[in-house]
Amino acid sequence: MVPKGKLIIIGGAINTGSFAETQFGLPENMNFFERGILKRITTESINDTQSRFEIITTASLMPEKVGEEYIKAYAQLDVHNVGVLNITNREEANSDENYERIKAAEVIIFTGGDQLRLSSIFGGTKIHQILLEKYRNEPVVIAGTSAGAAASSKNMIYQGSSKDALLKGEVKITGGLGFIDDVIVDTHFVQRGRIGRLLYAAASNPGILGIGLGEDTGLFISDGHTMEAIGSGMVILVDGRNMADTNLTDVEMGQPVSIKNMVVHVMCDGDVYDLNDHSLVIHHPKVIPIG
């Protein structure tokens, strides 16, 4: 079944995925929407600037501040019909009031923070179910940055140091919110050197595509399979379908893992990858000579 909704997953802002959760102030993060990511979320929604937005700050340790900053950012894009939902437990994720707010929303954005909070608080609740139904059956836009992006897929990385990622057992994977199958998403990818985490994830489950999102970079996913790179940085894809060999099952816990023949792609703004046939089309912008 081809979903009618659109999914936008973002690797984070300059530092940790939302304006307030960074050592920088809002001015240094202006490129987060000036480069078009937050604006793209708006223009892809059914009523553009008049759409109803709900910002879900559940993953954040500073939900009030993060919510305020998103409202400010969207106000500068002339979007004013914005609400903030700081759902902190499963009872709230099952409440009729919050359910109705999500049901009425045309854009839902999950902020950064801890993705395990998202999966453990929302998994199997009324809000989770209505989100999945809306994504399948309505032209809704669901977006996630940082933790919100990591939790968007069926499989989710929730723990594992970058330095020791290719030691057996270091990377921890659990179930995410399940908007998209057959992929696993990691964020702050280039800045935090997380290639090992994605290589391990792909080696342990070669049937899934590893997606590493750089900061101020995202993927716009339409029809459930067409992925367009957006933003100023890079998207790294790790494809293990043709992996020739690994010693993952042979080594002891904590020992290094060997991998043979893992395929890696690099995407930048405008490149398109199709999950159905695993094809990548690179965008070649026309260079205009100076003078």
Residue 251 is part of a domain; what is its CATH number? Answer: 3.40.50.880
For residue 236, the cross-strand partners are: 212, 266
Q: Is 188 a catalytic residue?
A: yes
Note whether residue 196 is domain-resident.
Answer: yes
Digit-coded pLDDT (tens) for 185-226: 988 776 666 788 889 889 999 999 999 998 888 999 999 999
Q: Does a structural domain hold residue 169? A: yes
Please state, in angstroms and rounded to a whole number, the distance separating the CA atoms of residues 11 and 144.
Answer: 9
232 catalytic? Reply is: no
The pLDDT assigned to 56 comes to 97
Candidate list 69, 106, 170, 215, residue with the active-site label? 215
Given the residues 119, 128, 188, 228, select the one marked as catalytic: 188
Has residue 187 been placed in a domain?
yes
**pLDDT (tens digit, 9 = 90+) per residue, 262-288?**
999 999 999 999 999 999 999 998 877
Is there a domain that residue 288 lies in?
no
Q: Evaluate if pTM is beyond 0.85.
A: yes
Q: Is 146 part of the annotated catalytic residue set?
A: yes
Alpha-carbon torsion (244, 254, 16, 91), positive or negative: positive
Q: Of these residues, 146, 152, 170, 228, which one is catalytic?
A: 146
Is 86 contained in some domain? Answer: yes
pLDDT value at position 14? 34
Q: Number of folded domains in the chain? A: 1
Is residue 107 scored above 90 in pLDDT? Answer: yes
In the numeric block, the tokens 């993952």 are attached to 248
Bridge partners for 212 per DSSP: 186, 236
Is residue 23 in a domain?
A: no
Assess if residue 290 is contained within a domain. no
Report whether pLDDT(22) > 70: no
Residue 284 domain-assigned (yes or no) = no
Owning domain of residue 199? 6-16+28-270
